[in-house]
Amino acid sequence: MIDVSTLTLKEIVSSLEKEKFSSEELVLAYQKRIKDVDEDLNSVLEISPTAQDDAKKIDKARAEGKSLGKLAGVPVLLKDNMMVKGWGNTSGSQILEGHKSIYNATVVERLKKAGAILLGRTNMDEFAMGSSTETSHFGPTKNPWDKKRVPGGSSGGSAVAVAAGLAPIALGSDTGGSIRQPASLCGVVGLKPTYGRVSRYGLMAMASSLDQIGPFARTVEDVAFLMSTIEGKDSKDATSVELKDTSVPELMNPSVDGMKIGIPKEYFLKGMDKDVEKLVMNAVAELEKGGAKVEEISMPHTEYALATYYIIMPCEASSNLGRYDGLRYGYHSTGNNLAETYSLSRGEGFGPEVKRRIMLGSYALSAGYYDAYYRKALKVRSLIKQDFDEAFKHVDAIVTPTSPSIAWKLGEKFGDPLTMYLSDIYTITANLATVPAISLPCGFSKDMPVGLQLMGRPFDEYTLFRIGMYYQNLTEWHKRIPV
Ligand code: GLN
């Protein structure tokens, strides 16, 4: 059987083309690995029953010399909040237990068109609310580098799956850091694309002005490759944008010579782990050696980002989650009248974190509070966005840590929402400002991975890929795998 534990997307595409192995063999090898190692990790909620047949079809088409898509025969895992027709997608929630998706998300359609094999769905914090994948109704996912620690969240399942070699690539969603933070804590690459780059049609909405779908992989090159298959305008998502440049990794010249890189002083304050700071600054020094010009910049409204996010996100979430009424899909509890049925179904079906946010959001949106909270938060969001606009007049990319610390112990922050929320301090600004941001491994502290975050101008993922590929050509961090 193929040893899939270290395979990258690029290696798989080339091996499939050269017929070193078939897609069916590959799928079987990943399925076996999931069976062997995921019982402990709990990153995969369900393996697709059709994956092997889907792979056979691609193998047959290849044997017949048919023209194939860019991801022909490549297995991919999807976060549980992306709809795949016929799958039991739940967003990690009890309220959707028993739900069957009746259509495909646009990213799913595009992956299928590119020939990818949908391998299964991954665990996540309930409705993507969390930073540790502990709020999932289906139990926590564990970090493959140390199973006593969290993988980050909310896309913890996808990050763990890629880190543990259960799939070469996976998709997640990022509303405040849910791709980048678990990527950082698990030692893989994760990209939150610019708002509008990837269609969210068929993504179960959390906070619609912040949500983006994006890829996980071992290398920046693989992330760029995967992006090129899912990005671009979609008539079913009015916020998606016609792209001038698509992600074409082949054409990239990974050099940072002459590039201007900003280090925002507001991101390097108290509370950050000293090792994390050191490793991030080592990475910056590498870029400087390559000819990048590094300068300190100021983003003065950063300190308001967390407060702003924790108004806007719950407001939007409280509205988006109104649709789960216990009648149309999933969990149902019968009361004496309609109001009681709603109340019982929602009260029993949602977990505590989701209820907390629905209550926060409903409160902040209610008459008399709307202006004081929601409108004010939108104004501060504009100021945060202006910080980025101003910075990008002088620099091509901004470098920060992805997470202020390495992965913490399971249970350590669970039950203490404020401490949990603080772990997103470096990632939420990119969502508020709608800019692209990528996390890639930049070293280890106490044998746990540390991530470097690069943020770029809107729709300039290309610059992030260039810097990231340059850095990965020089370093080996992304090649280490958990035992
Ligand atoms: N951890 C953040 C939150 O709990 C971000 C979640 C996300 O990006 N989906 O809201």
pLDDT tens track for 420-436: 998 999 999 999 999 99
Residue among 79, 82, 123, 125 to mutate when testing ligand 1 (max atoms within 8 A of CB): 125
| H or E, element range at 311 | helix 305-320
Q: Taking residues 285-310, report their average pLDDT.
A: 97
Domain boundaries, position 209: 1-483
Residue 248: pLDDT band (50, 70, 90) is confident
Q: Express each pLDDT in 72-131 by its tens digit.
A: 999 999 999 999 999 999 999 999 999 999 999 999 999 999 999 999 999 999 999 999
Query: Which residues surround ligand 1 with Cβ inside 6 Å?
Result: 128-131, 154, 174-178, 206, 313, 424
Question: 22, 43, 48, 79: which one is catalytic?
Answer: 79
Q: Which residues contact 38 (CB under 8 A, 6 or more apart)?
A: 44, 161, 164, 166
Which pLDDT belongs to residue 250? 63
Locate tokens 């990818």: which residue?
116
**In the chain, what is the straight-line distance between the N-terminal and C-terminal CA atoms, in Å?**
19
403 is catalytic: no
Determine if the pTM surpasses 0.75.
Answer: yes
Strands 437-445 and 448-456 come out as antiparallel
Block residue for tokens 């990239």: 252
Tokens of 167: 């799939």
Let me know: does 201 contact 237? Beta carbons within 8 Å: yes
pLDDT of residue 117: 98
- Overall domain count for the chain: 1
d(CA 284, CA 263): 9
pLDDT digits (tens, 9 = 90+) for 406-419: 999 999 999 899 88
Pairing between strand 293-297 and 260-264? parallel
Choose which residue among 129, 306, 311, 408 to substitute to test ligand 1 binding: the one with the highest number of ligand atoms within 8 A of its C-beta. Answer: 129
| Identity at 96, one-letter amino acid code | L
Q: Which pLDDT value is given to residue 297?
A: 97
Ligand 1 pocket test, pick from 200, 418, 428 with the greatest ligand atom count within 8 Å of Cβ, gives 428
d(CA 106, CA 243): 16
pLDDT at 336 over 80: yes
Has 178 been annotated as catalytic? yes
Write the pLDDT tens digit of every residue in 9-23. Answer: 999 999 999 999 999
DSSP 8-state code for residue 291: T
Q: What is the pLDDT of residues 349-379, one digit of tens each?
A: 999 999 999 999 999 999 899 999 999 999 9
Phi and psi of 444, rounded to 5°?
Answer: -135, 145
Percent of the chain scored above 70 by pLDDT? Answer: 99
CB-count burial class (<10 Å; 0-12, 13-18, 19+) for 386? middle
Instruction: Give the domain CATH number at 462.
Output: 3.90.1300.10
Per-residue pLDDT at 271 exceeds 80: no
Which pLDDT score, from 0 to 100, does residue 253 have? 72
329 CA distance to ligand 1 middle (Å): 24
Distance from the alpha carbon of residue 107 to the mean position of ligand 1, in angstroms = 20
For residues 138-158, give the mean pLDDT.
98
Please state the atom number of ligand 1 nearest to the C-alpha of residue 175. 8
Output the pLDDT for position 231: 98
Of ligand 1's listed atoms, the one at least distance from the Cα of 179 is: 8
Ligand 1 atom index nearest CA of 130: 4
273-289 mean pLDDT? 97
pLDDT above 90: percentage of residues in the chain: 94
Per residue in 179-223, pLDDT (tens digit) is 999 999 999 999 999 999 999 999 999 999 999 999 999 999 999
- Please state, rounded to an integer, the average pLDDT across all residues of the chain: 96
Indicate if the pLDDT at residue 329 is higher than 90: no
Atom of ligand 1 nearest to the CA of 131: 1
pLDDT above 80 (res 65): yes
pLDDT at site 272: 86
Has 154 been annotated as catalytic?
A: yes
**Which residue intervals of 338-460 are DSSP H helices?**
338-349, 352-365, 376-394, 417-422, 428-433
- Asked if pLDDT for residue 34 goes beyond 80, the answer is yes
- Between the CA of 280 and the centroid of ligand 1 the distance, in Å, is 23
> In which band, very low, low, confident or very high, does the pLDDT at 249 lie, cut at 50, 70 and 90?
low
